[in-house]
């Protein structure tokens, strides 16, 4: 859905406003019906809460994304309105048992502590170990259980017929069975969902602490996706990684130490290891799940030629920004192979502050290269990265592009302090794509995508994100 700050603001704003609407509407529930009204609210929350994520997945798979924002905000509004009923109803239910002051104090205390518990539980346990789909079903089931327990404890105080109580019990049991069935079938449902939105069947899927990781395979080709965005295809990734690695390394007479930021799948490392004089490669990738998969998955380890087994390679699972701030090492080359700047956290890794930190870790005659999105599909984002590097202390920047069939024409930027430029590749390396005869052509851009007026991306105003999302929104509705 794009800009996460916008989405957080919309979701929280709509949710809190909807709670206010629910609190206002609670006054229309008569005191005589208050217990049964609370039970019905919990049932509706259970139904809608449990199936909210499955409904979002279904909407995404069957429709284009033009109405997705409206659909999500509608769900949030409905859930917020139902949640808004709870505290006023609980306060009225318990008003005869304690004083109003103690009553409202106890309810709000448990409500806020519960909110903190859920806030910590979701990112550190539920998302990485249970997943989004199961989490929504699980919490919906909890609401159904709350309705059942309330019905059991207060059955003699509920001002409805015995038949209605029994029917409500039966409805809750059926809902619990349905949700339980959905929990059991989650893996099958997610597999079907993945196959409906990805081009190839999914053979591996997991949720790490940081992202969703999928591998899709068809015959001899497989693809890695992070959070639904393709990272490479085994069919043509060599074009991308040769361009990312060997173009900048060709600018150095000698290269002994290389820093790789990102690249946890090991393919950039594979290319660097082809240069025999390289003595050390430091890889900084925040997600250990990716590097573990690259080591242990047979398809990936075969493709990266077991790069992580080389004694030259050191892997650090850190945030790249933090590493650059704290490290004292100097490198001959820095290779930046990070995901596209699709949110604020990633956009800051393309900022002037980030590139200035890179400059501090780079030898005076060293070279940096970074992937820079597509110069055709996200033209402004590509040139923004180039402009940001040029304003960050790199006196010479060299934007270039490589045609990768899975991605289209893909862009990179090479940056240096010194003006010397070598248009000849290193000898003694077997290249599958690059060659001296076409080297200079990599740096040519047609005039329709050449040097638009763009700003510098910085931490306070990540303008790169806006440029990138303009491209993303233009692709809404396309399947992967």
- Please check whether residue 295 lies inside any domain of the structure: yes
Can you point out the beta strands (E) in 308-457?
313-316, 331-337, 362-371, 396-404, 408-416
Q: Is position 3 annotated as part of the catalytic site?
A: no
Which of 429, 310, 320, 426 has its CA nearest to residue 370? 320
What token pair was written down for 230?
């393709």
Indicate whether 202 pLDDT > 90. Answer: no
Phi, psi at residue 404, to the nearest 5°?
-120, 110
Half-sphere exposure of 368 (CA within 13 A, CB side): 30
State the Cα–Cα distance between residues 470 and 58, nearest whole angstrom. Answer: 25
Residues 204 and 157 grouped into a single domain? no
CA distances for 434 relative to 243, 269, 297, 375, 471, angstroms: 7, 17, 28, 19, 28
Residue 154 region by backbone torsions, left for phi larger than 0, else alpha for psi between -120 and 50, else beta: alpha
Cβ-contact 96, 33 below 8 angstroms:
no
What token pair was written down for 39?
């039970």
H/E run at residue 60: helix 34-62
Residues 291 and 394 grouped into a single domain? yes
CATH of the domain at 427: 3.40.50.150
How confident is the model over 270-283, as pLDDT tens digits?
999 999 999 999 99
Residues 168 and 218 grouped into a single domain? no
- Please check whether residue 480 lies inside any domain of the structure: no
Residues 252 and 210 grouped into a single domain? no
pTM of the full structure: 0.77
Q: Are strands 396-404 and 362-371 parallel, antiparallel or unpaired?
A: unpaired
Residues 383 and 351 grouped into a single domain? yes
Please give the share of the chain, as a percent, with pLDDT higher than 90: 66
Cα dihedral across residues 429, 434, 439, 443: positive or negative: negative
Residues 173 and 206 grouped into a single domain? no
Residues 226 and 244 grouped into a single domain? no
Q: What is the DSSP string of 75-137?
A: HHHHHHHHHHHHHHHHHHHTTTTS-HHHHHHHHHHHHHHHHHHHHHHIIIIIIIII-HHHHHH
What token pair was written down for 127?
């998302």
- Cα dihedral 471/473/479/480 (nearest 10): 40
What residues make up the domain containing 322? 237-474
Residues 139 and 281 grouped into a single domain? no
Once rounded to an integer, what is the mean pLDDT over residues 388-403? 96
Which of 301, 259, 263 has its CA nearest to residue 282? 259
State the Cα–Cα distance between residues 313 and 273, nearest whole angstrom. Answer: 9
Burial track 99-135 (b if 16+ CB lie within 10 A, e otherwise): eeeebbeebeeeeeeeeeeeeeeeeeebbbebbbbbb
- Please check whether residue 12 lies inside any domain of the structure: yes
Once rounded to an integer, what is the mean pLDDT over residues 300-310? 97
Cβ-contact 133, 58 below 8 angstroms:
no
Average pLDDT taken over every residue of the chain: 90
Cβ-contact 133, 57 below 8 angstroms:
yes
How confident is the model over 144-177, as pLDDT tens digits?
999 999 888 887 788 888 888 889 989 999 999 9
Helix (H/G/I), strand (E/B), else coil: 478: coil
- Please check whether residue 479 lies inside any domain of the structure: no
Q: Of these residues, 337, 365, 420, 427, which one is catalytic?
A: 337
Q: Which of the pair, 98 or 338, is modelled with greater confidence?
A: 338
How confident is the model over 224-269, as pLDDT tens digits?
999 888 899 999 999 999 999 999 999 999 999 999 999 999 999 9
Domain total in the chain: 3
Residues 90 and 184 grouped into a single domain? yes
Residues 352 and 224 grouped into a single domain? no
Burial track 415-438 (b if 16+ CB lie within 10 A, e otherwise): bbbeeeeeeebbeeeeeebbeeee
Indicate whether 24 pLDDT > 50. Answer: yes
Residues 166 and 140 grouped into a single domain? yes
> Could you tell me the strand order of the sheet in which 212-218 lies?
202-207, 212-218, 221-226, 229-233
What token pair was written down for 46?
């259970």
Residues 181 and 129 grouped into a single domain? yes
Longest Cα separation, the chain:
89
């Amino acid at each position: 859905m794009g800009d996460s700050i916008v989405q957080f603001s919309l979701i929280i704003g709509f949710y809190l406003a909807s709670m206010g609407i629910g609190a206002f509407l609670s006054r229309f529930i008569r005191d005589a019906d208050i217990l049964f009204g609370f039970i019905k609210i919990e049932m509706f929350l259970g139904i809608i809460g449990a199936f909210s994520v499955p409904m979002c997945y279904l909407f995404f798979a069957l429709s284009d994304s033009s109405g997705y924002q409206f659909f999500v905000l509608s769900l949030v509004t409905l859930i917020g309105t139902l949640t808004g009923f709870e505290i006023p109803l609980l306060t009225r239910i318990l008003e005869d048992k304690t004083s109003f002051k103690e009553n409202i104090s106890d309810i709000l205390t448990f409500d806020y502590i519960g909110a903190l518990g859920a806030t910590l539980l979701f990112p550190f346990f539920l998302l990485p170990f249970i997943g989004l789909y199961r989490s929504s079903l699980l919490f919906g089931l909890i609401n159904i259980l709350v309705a059942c327990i309330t019905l059991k404890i207060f059955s003699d105080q509920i001002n409805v017929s015995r038949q209605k109580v029994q029917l409500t019990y039966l409805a809750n049991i059926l809902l619990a069975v349905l949700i339980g069935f959905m929990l059991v079938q989650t893996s099958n449902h997610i597999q079907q969902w993945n196959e409906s939105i990805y081009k190839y069947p999914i053979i591996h899927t997991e949720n790490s602490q940081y992202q969703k990781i999928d591998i899709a395979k068809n015959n001899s080709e497989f693809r890695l996706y992070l959070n639904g965005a393709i990272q490479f295809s085994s069919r043509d990734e060599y074009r991308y990684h040769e361009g990312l690695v060997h173009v900048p390394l060709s600018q150095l007479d000698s290269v002994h130490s290389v820093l790789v930021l990102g690249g946890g799948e090991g393919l950039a490392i594979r290319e660097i290891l082809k240069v025999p004089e390289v003595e050390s490669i430091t890889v900084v990738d925040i997600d250990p799940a990716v590097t573990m998969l690259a080591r242990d998955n047979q398809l990936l380890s075969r493709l990266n030629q077991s790069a992580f087994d080389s004694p030259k390679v050191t892997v650090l699972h850190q945030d790249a920004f933090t590493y650059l701030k704290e490290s004292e090492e100097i490198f001959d080359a820095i290779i930046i192979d990070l995901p596209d700047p699709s949110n604020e956290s990633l956009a800051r890794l393309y900022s002037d502050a980030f590139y200035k930190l890179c400059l501090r870790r780079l030898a005076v005659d060293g070279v940096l290269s970074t992937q820079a999105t597509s110069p055709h599909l996200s033209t402004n984002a590509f040139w923004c990265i180039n402009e940001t590097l040029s304003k960050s202390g790199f006196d010479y920047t060299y934007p270039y592009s490589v045609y990768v069939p899975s991605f289209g024409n893909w862009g990179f930027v090479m940056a240096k302090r010194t003006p010397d430029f070598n248009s000849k590749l290193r000898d003694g390396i077997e290249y599958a794509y690059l060659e001296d005869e076409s080297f200079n052509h990599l740096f040519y851009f047609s005039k329709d995508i050449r040097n638009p007026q763009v700003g510098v991306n910085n931490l306070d105003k990540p303008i790169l994100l806006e440029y990138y999302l303009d491209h993303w929104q233009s692709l809404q509705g396309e399947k992967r």
